[in-house]
Amino acid sequence: MYNPLPAYLTLKASPIHGFGLYAAEDISRGTKVGISHVSDDRFEQGEIRTPLGGYINHSVTPNCVKVLIKHNLHASDGDCTWIETNRDIENGEELTIRYTLYAMEISDEAGT
């Protein structure tokens, strides 16, 4: 059965904007939450946004970071942006990232 979000996340109304992603249980620092965007030049703005990427809200003090996973050193198609927690997140807390194109860690295909 397809689940658009990990079982430890839920959607709720957010005071930041619209709906947001919330922890349905405690989440440890360093957890790779999932893929938020996949690069593909056939789509508007050159990427496909997943439900995770569509519902995570911005914060200047985020509890998650974006990590770019490079799958092909010579093309961008197929590169994935993952969301990873940068601190422990408590049950009921909203997950957030900093919206910027410049604050992204880059990792190789193995996720190292």
Tens digit of pLDDT for each residue in 46-98?
888 899 999 999 999 999 999 988 766 555 566 888 999 999 999 999 999 99
Number of domains, the chain: 1
Look at residue 14 and tell me if it is in a domain. yes
Look at residue 83 and tell me if it is in a domain. yes
Look at residue 1 and tell me if it is in a domain. no
What is the CATH number for 60?
2.170.270.10
Look at residue 4 and tell me if it is in a domain. no
CA–CA gap between residue 112 and residue 103 (Å, rounded): 17
Residue 104, phi then psi, degrees to nearest 5: -130, 130
| Phi and psi based region of residue 86 (left: phi greater than 0; alpha: psi -120 to 50; beta: remaining) | alpha
Look at residue 84 and tell me if it is in a domain. yes
Residue whose tokens read 């957030």: 96
CA–CA gap between residue 36 and residue 56 (Å, rounded): 9
Residue whose tokens read 């974006």: 66
- Per DSSP bridges, beta strands 32-39 and 96-97 are unpaired
Look at residue 3 and tell me if it is in a domain. no
Look at residue 87 and tell me if it is in a domain. yes
Record the tokens describing residue 57, joined without a space: 């809200």
Domain of 84, in residue numbers? 9-107
Record the tokens describing residue 99, joined without a space: 């919206």
User: What pLDDT digit, counting tens, does each position of 9-51 carry?
Assistant: 999 999 999 999 999 999 999 999 999 988 888 888 888 889 9
